[in-house]
Amino acid sequence: MSTIIDVAKKAKVSIATVSRVINHPDRVKEETRHKIYKAMDACNYVYNALAGGLSTKRSRAIGIVIPNITNPIFSESTRGVQDYAGQKGYYVISVNTDYVYEKEKKLVNVLREKQVEGIVLTTNKPEGEIVERLVKDPFPFVLTYSFPKNPKVAFVGVDNIQGGNKAIEYLIGLGHRRIGMIALNFALSDRSYHRWLGYKRCLKKYGISYDPDLIIQTEYTFERGKEAINLLMKNPDPPTAIFCSNDILALGAMNGLSDMGKMIPEDVSIIGFDDIPFSKFVKPPLTSVRQPAYDMGWKATELLFELIPEGKVHHSKHRILLDTELVVRQSCMPLKRGK
């Protein structure tokens, strides 16, 4: 890890000046501050409050990094983290990245500056710079939701490819062949990408041609789900069933179909992913692939507390895959003859 000396050399200032920027930034000229902050970024410098003498005790805090706190699935896993940490006498600092990787990098640094003892991290880049750095330092952390290739990275999540396959296999079993997908942009979520892989592989398994015109990548909002279904239904040969990479997109799509005068599932079957609490209360209740978010947060924190004492990032039981479950409700039905 870089030191205050490295930052001073990079910024071409004295060590004392860097120290002032860290401890009393108001006493340093703005131009000099910016130069030093830029050097800190270039050096990947993270200020260690313990080493700086600001504390001699453990913080008894952990951090959790999530992409979107408004998504109930992340709220559930956060609750699992908080409940496990609470019983250990720890508190949790949670931060929200809005699926912006640069923001994620800054927030991970902020958590480390706050002297959290470990981090439960949900990232859209499990092979990215943040994970590489945490492994290299090393700093205790556990990934959730995304499956990392690096065998040194602790992980708790689900098999998203398998989850996507479950959804499509169910729709194919109902007789559907024109199956569309509304997905969170793959650049923002590797989880969405892996659910699409499950979709594509399942089509191939059953000898169904893949049609890229039936795939819409969009942002994570109810409104974007509604817009996406409008685009899909304008296709000359529209889909008879839709798989959405999360339930919020599915709820937006259901609203869009209703506005078109389409009946669910009589005209179009629809299936989501996550099984958020709202899913069973909409009309018709939404069929969805459930992932055990609360358990994911709980088990990730349990694993993190095994890593923290020795400051490790690796553990003999460091990779935990939880099962997804297809929850069948009333938003899908067998394909009508002639469609």
For the chain, the structural domain boundaries read 4-43, 61-159+293-323, 160-291
pLDDT of residue 36: 87
| HEC secondary structure over 39-51 | HHHHHCCCCCCCC
Number of separate helices (H) and strands (E) present in the chain: 11, 12
pLDDT of residue 316: 57
Beta strands across the sheet bearing 287-290 = 215-218, 179-184, 241-244, 269-274, 287-290, 325-327
Sequence-ordered list of residues with C-beta below 8 angstroms from that of 61, at least 6 positions apart, any chain: 90, 91, 92, 93, 114, 115, 116, 117
Contact between 329 and 170 under an 8 Å Cβ cutoff? The reply is no
The pLDDT tens digits along the chain (339 residues) read: 678 888 899 999 998 898 888 777 768 888 898 888 888 878 877 765 545 534 435 788 999 999 998 889 999 999 999 999 999 889 999 999 998 999 999 999 999 988 899 999 999 899 899 999 999 888 999 999 988 888 889 999 999 999 999 999 999 999 999 999 999 999 888 899 999 999 999 999 999 999 999 999 999 899 999 999 999 999 999 999 999 999 999 999 999 999 999 999 999 999 999 999 999 999 999 999 999 999 999 999 999 999 988 766 666 568 899 999 999 999 999 998 766
Class of domain 61-159+293-323: alpha beta
Q: Check if 61-159+293-323 and 160-291 are the same fold.
A: yes
In the beta sheet, which residues pair with residue 181?
215, 243
DSSP, res 282: S
pLDDT of residue 33: 84
pLDDT of residue 255: 97
Class of domain 160-291: alpha beta
DSSP, res 99: T
